[in-house]
Amino acid sequence: MSVRRLFSIPCLFTLCLASGLPIVSTAQDSTFSSEISVTATGTEEGLEDVPLPITVITEEEMENAQTESVSDILRRVPGLNVVQSGGPGSVTSIFTRGTESDHTLVMIDGVRLNSPYFGGFDFSQLATAGLGRIEVARGPYSALWGADAVGGVINLIPGTGADGFDGTLTGEWGEGSWERYEGTVTYGSEGFDLMASGLMREGEGDLENSDFDLRQGLVNAGLKWGKGSRISFLYHDVDSELGIPFSSPGSLTPLRRQETNQRTLAIPLKWAISNRWSLEATVSTVERELNFSDPDDPWGFTWSHTETETTQARLASHHALGSHNLSWGAEWRQDEVTDGSVYGSNLEAVSYDMTSLFAQDVWRMGNALTLVFGARWDDTDQWGSEVSPRANLGWRVSDTLELQAGYGEAYRQPSVGELFYPFSGNADLKPETSGSLEIGLIWGGRTQTTPRLHFSAFSTDIDNLIVFDYVNYSLQNIGQAEINGFEAALDTVYSDALRSSMQVTWLDTSDGFGNELLRRPEWSGAYTLSGAFLPWLKGFATVRYVGHRFDIDPLTFETTRTDSFITADLALATQIWDSIELTLRATNLLDKDYEEVLGYPAQGRRIIGGVRINF
């Protein structure tokens, strides 16, 4: 994409905005400047203070939405396309800014969760229980966080205990044998804090053998001292079981089952040595298991078992030096995979290590200019090394307008399965690499409750994509992709208790042969209203549009243009006692028939009621 064309997009968008967009103005204080992010720079920064496109989903928004699913709440974020292969519990992927589903790095409190087996992450296993906020950073982030951060980073931040003792109990019951039980307790004192949560969710889909069961535990406990020092214990445990109703449309599988387990253990340390110097260190391990079974499989593939483990250590040093906030550090990681099936062993404790060094500076040149620049070096014995630079500039033209521009390079590492899986693996694979150019603006008052427009136009070129080569009958670095687009979000705070968000994303994608990339709609968008609708009623209402896109027909294997669709979700809650709320929500409120993955019908309307007790 040419620079001239890239710069023309915001000009056209601004003209359209000026000609027809209604502007709402009220007199309440704004909440925009209170949101913070650690994903953008690795340290806590206000969203107003970094020239980067970040969305923060708060604990209050998750509570208003009432959903237990992280993927459901992410559907309202600009630049993200959430794709689920059927009903609740089914495999769920996210395409960030049109990149591949394995081009988004997923973390919990800075600990990477992506699978080392064949890359990517299944979002159907993530619940909102116990989370304090979700940060979505869009754009290339390999310069700070390393491999897989090509399209962006999704960082789940656990809640922490505040002063005293608090807790919440939630129970839900609904159509399709839906049951959900969730509890969270928090405690905080001068030297100690604790957050512990548990979740159980189960139900049935519209088809036979489409039941789903998810159980999660999350604990975040910390010892605190001084001004901002904390050492903590983080434990995240997820177990799920899922019925798979068919292998392809018309081919029923009444006994096919899948079980997954994921356990994350981390010890994060933040040591505030002085007002100008702090150290952060984290050691972590993530263990995963995937079990598949189908005694009636027509090809005799009756079971498979996969185990993966990621062990990681990270050290970062942060220094406030006048107008510079300098960070530097190192990281070590080891990925290991064991996989086998009824046919025999495929991988037996196959692993490789990665060593990394990184540095970054946030340079604030007066009140008008902010420059974020840095680079990271990742090295392995298996595929060599990668250097990932980035630079982002923000220019605050006035109190109501900031212009932004940036360039970054990122990569996705070859997974263990892509390198070593029998027959299809290729030990000579190199990383997939990308270069991304971006320009954007933020328009709106910083402290008044005026609408705030966030706009970003981006262009990404991806080389060395790993695809299956039928000539060599193995995986090869022969794919390419070009992605151009823009995302825009209009946020409005109507009062201290009510806000709305309207977002739209446009994509123009192509592979090396000029074909559109699969499952990337040209147009998508959402409108969300969250907060107090009436003095006695609060809630969350979302309308989402997903436009036409291309997919593979599971029967003919031909590329097919799929239909667009509009869905709506509604959640309501009313307080009937000092600490008791009644809740009611409807997913797919209009009972639309649609498919996010061709051949896999989405869940129809489901009505769910419940009670929430705060103590």
Phi, psi dihedrals of residue 211, rounded to the nearest 5°: -75, 160
Residue 15 in this model has a pLDDT that exceeds 50 = no
Half-sphere exposure of 465 (CA within 13 A, CB side): 18
Using one digit for the tens of pLDDT, what is the confidence trace for 474-514?
A: 999 999 999 999 999 999 999 888 999 999 999 999 998 99
How far apart, in whole angstroms, are the C-alpha atoms of residue 92 and residue 365?
A: 43
Burial zone of 554 (CB within 10 Å; 0-12 exposed, 13-18 middle, 19+ buried): middle
pLDDT (average), residues 76-99: 95
Task: Note whether 454 and 492 are within 8 A (CB).
Answer: no
- Compute the 3-state secondary structure of the chain and give helix, strand, coil in percent, each to the nearest 5: 10, 60, 30
Taking the complete model, does pTM exceed 0.85, yes or no? yes
Residue 50 in this model has a pLDDT that exceeds 70 = yes
pLDDT of residue 446: 60
The model's confidence at residue 448, banded by pLDDT at 50, 70 and 90, is low
Dihedral class, residue 531 (left if φ above 0, else alpha if ψ from -120 to 50, else beta):
left
How far apart, in whole angstroms, are the C-alpha atoms of residue 311 and residue 266?
A: 10
Across 22-31, 224-233, 255-264, 413-422, least confident range: 22-31
User: Which residue is associated with the tokens 């989370």?
Assistant: 131
Assign 15 to helix, strand or coil: helix
- Is the model more confident about 425 or about 447? 425
Task: Note whether 35 and 45 are within 8 A (CB).
Answer: no
pLDDT of residue 450: 76
Using one digit for the tens of pLDDT, what is the confidence trace for 199-245?
A: 999 999 888 999 999 999 999 999 999 999 999 999 999 999 999 99
Instruction: Name the residue type at position 370.
Output: T
Task: Note whether 211 and 240 are within 8 A (CB).
Answer: no
Half-sphere exposure of 476 (CA within 13 A, CB side): 9
Would you state the structure tokens that stand for residue 357, as one six-digit string?
């060094």
**What DSSP string runs through 81-136?**
EEEESSSTTS-EEEEETT--TTSEEEEETTEE---TTTS---GGG-B-TTEEEEEE
Burial zone of 257 (CB within 10 Å; 0-12 exposed, 13-18 middle, 19+ buried): middle
Task: Note whether 13 and 21 are within 8 A (CB).
Answer: no
Would you state the structure tokens that stand for residue 214, as one six-digit string?
């998810």
Burial zone of 397 (CB within 10 Å; 0-12 exposed, 13-18 middle, 19+ buried): exposed
The model's confidence at residue 447, banded by pLDDT at 50, 70 and 90, is low
User: Rounded mean pLDDT of the chain?
Assistant: 92
Task: Note whether 136 and 107 are within 8 A (CB).
Answer: no
- DSSP conformational letter for 448: B
Residue 44 in this model has a pLDDT that exceeds 60 = yes
Using one digit for the tens of pLDDT, what is the confidence trace for 339-373?
A: 999 999 999 999 999 999 999 999 999 989 999 99
Picking from 197, 192, 202, the residue whose alpha carbon sits closest to that of residue 224 is: 192
Across 176-190, 429-443, 444-458, least confident range: 444-458
The model's confidence at residue 416, banded by pLDDT at 50, 70 and 90, is very high
In the chain, the domains with their CATH numbers are 3-614 (2.40.170.20)
Assign 9 to helix, strand or coil: helix
Q: How far is CA 581 from the centre of its chain?
A: 29
Picking from 157, 70, 143, 73, the residue whose alpha carbon sits closest to that of residue 110 is: 157
**Other C-beta atoms lying within 10 Å of the C-beta of residue 458:** 27
